[in-house]
Amino acid sequence: MKFLPLFDRVLVERFTAETVTKGGIMLPEKSQGKVLQATVVAVGPGTVTKKGDMQPVSVKVGEKVLLPEYGGTKIVLEDKDYFLFRDGDILGKYIE
């Protein structure tokens, strides 16, 4: 069973927070920065424009994106944390 976001929602999985410094010291959870990089896991079909056309979302599954610091909805699928963001709230993407 797969989860499909509706409208212009984008399901992302945040990168794992670094828990060990480069020098090998373990970081307590509080010192770990909020991870804003994420991978797109699923995208909604987009929104219907006023002209009646479907406006697809601007990111694709598998792309690496930069999330805003606030916002997004945490959802749990099979005991794993994901986040839903509106397409328009995603700041940008990393391209090769």
Measured CA to CA, the distance from residue 51 to residue 7 in angstroms comes to: 16
Between 38 and 87, CB nearer to a copy of itself: 87
Between 38 and 44, CB nearer to a copy of itself: 44
Minimum distance between the CB of residue 38 and a copy of itself, rounded to whole angstroms? 13
Between 20 and 54, CB nearer to a copy of itself: 54
Side-chain-side CA neighbours of residue 29 (13 Å): 0
Q: Where along the sequence are the contacts to a copy of itself (CB under 8 A)?
A: 1-7, 9, 11, 36, 42, 44-45, 48-53, 55, 58-59, 64, 66, 68-69, 73, 75, 84, 87-88, 90-96
What single DSSP character describes residue 7?
Answer: T
Cβ-based neighbours of 17, under 8 Å, separated by 6 or more: 32, 33, 34, 35
